[in-house]
Amino acid sequence: MNLFRNFKSVTKTAYGRGSFSKLGEIIAPHRASGKGYMVFLVDHYFEGNEGFKAKLPMLPGDELIFCSTKKEPSTEQIDALRDDLLVRHGLPAGLVGIGGGNVMDVAKALSLMLTNEGSSVQYQGLNLIKKPGIYHCGVPTISGTGAEVSMTAVLTGPAKKLGLKCDWTVFDQIVLDPDLIASVPDDQWFYTGMDTYIHSVEAITGTKKNTFAEAYSEKSLEMCRQVYLKLDRKDPKSDELLMVASYMGGLSLTYSEVGVCHALSYGLGKVLEMHHCYANCIAFNQLDDVYGDYVQEFKGMVKARGITLPQNLSKDWSEETINAMAEVAYALPHMWDHAFGPDWQQVLDRERIKGWYRRM
């Protein structure tokens, strides 16, 4: 396979324990000669943590906004944040997102919407953004989604859950400090980490991959195996590997595509508002007929980590709910095309999709 791809990467990547302490000097050149202010978008988990706050390299005039992660980012939320900042302070010099996939997407979307007029709803899709956003830096505090490297900011809008996807979405800078992810609770650490495992499996098993995708996938899978099957979570190497695995899993998708699990997960997310990474685990657990040995390996990791995935969720789902989820999933032909090839309609119909949901 030699599929043509031409993508922008994150411009600068800082990696290593303690790199968060360098954030001040990293963003200093982007403060627009002292005229602009910086916005710090921080996961609400850190609200009230004075020790953490003291580490933020804030200067007078900067804005600190805590972001709730109860719901996934929405177009409404981004538009309101943008309007509020512009009315109160004018255009910032840049922004820094500190948190999980949720805050990474808020930071990427807000950067774009500070310079593009109208509602973010009109830009949901590929290459619809008209102008570059402002300087934006991402600091992940939980690893797995790859949102720190991807070229999309996933937003839930009134009609669709779809990313603002273009070259300008990609971060100008990321700071990967393994110290920051140590406090993630074990269950969330597992679900979000499995997102990168599943990205890598889906990227490597479909038809739209190229050699870059294979290289990133294989390395990410190997790192996930070390983290979830071999190392103690307290081993310093564990978080160091997981942060890089997330990055590589994200890039494996840039050079390939997601597949069956993500299609089903989008249905669970849109209809039941299930968290992306948790929904992936629920779906992947039932996909033996598609991902075979990888699903067995996944089950081994679930067991090794003492995670309990719910069984028989579907007994509480009405036919209407299952139909609605199947419609969301069916309407993602690029994922089916990748998973099963251009003749995917010969092996997949709505009934097969509903069958997977009924097994969950």
Pattern 190-219, ligand NAD, x by CB under 6 A = --x--x------------------------
Residue 263 binds to ligand NAD (criterion: CB under 6 A): no
Query: Does 145 help bind ligand NAD (rule: CB under 6 A)?
Result: yes
> Among 65-73, 123-131, 211-219, 315-323, which window interacts with ligand NAD (CB under 6 A)?
65-73
- SS (HEC) of the chain: CCCCCCCCCCCEEEECCCHHHHHHHHHHHHCHHHCCCEEEEEEHHHCCCHHHHHHCCCCCCCEEEEECCCCCCEHHHHHHHHHHHHHHHCCCCEEEEEECHHHHHHHHHHHHHCCCCCCHHHHCEECCCCCCCCEEEEEECCCCCCCCCCCEEEEECCCCEEEEECHHHCCCEEEECHHHHCCCCHHHHHHHHHHHHHHHHHHHHCCCCCHHHHHHHHHHHHHHHHHHHHCCCCCHHHHHHHHHHHHHHHHHHHCCCCCHHHHHHHHHHHHHCCCHHHHHHHHHCCCHHHHHHHHHHHHHHHHHCCCCCCCCHHHHCCHHHHHHHHHHHHCCHHHHHHHHCCCHHHCCCHHHHHHHHHHC
Scan residues 172-191 and list those touching ligand NAD (CB under 6 A).
180-181, 183-184, 188
Size of the site for Zn ion (CB under 5 A): 1
Return the residues of window 163-202 that contact Zn ion according to CB under 5 A: 195
265 near ligand NAD, judged by CB under 6 A:
no
The site map against Zn ion for 253-272 (x = CB under 5 A) is: --------------------
Q: Residue 9's binding partner, choosing from Zn ion, ligand NAD, none, with beta-carbon cut-off 5 to 8 A by kind?
A: none
Residue 141 lies near ligand NAD (rule: CB under 6 A) = yes
Cβ-based nearer residue to ligand NAD, 20 or 317:
20
Residue 152 touching ligand NAD (CB under 6 A): yes
Among 120, 150, 220, 256, binds ligand NAD (CB under 6 A): 150
- Complex with ligand NAD: residue 36 or 75, whichever CB lies closer: 75
Q: Which residues bind Zn ion (CB under 5 A)?
A: 195
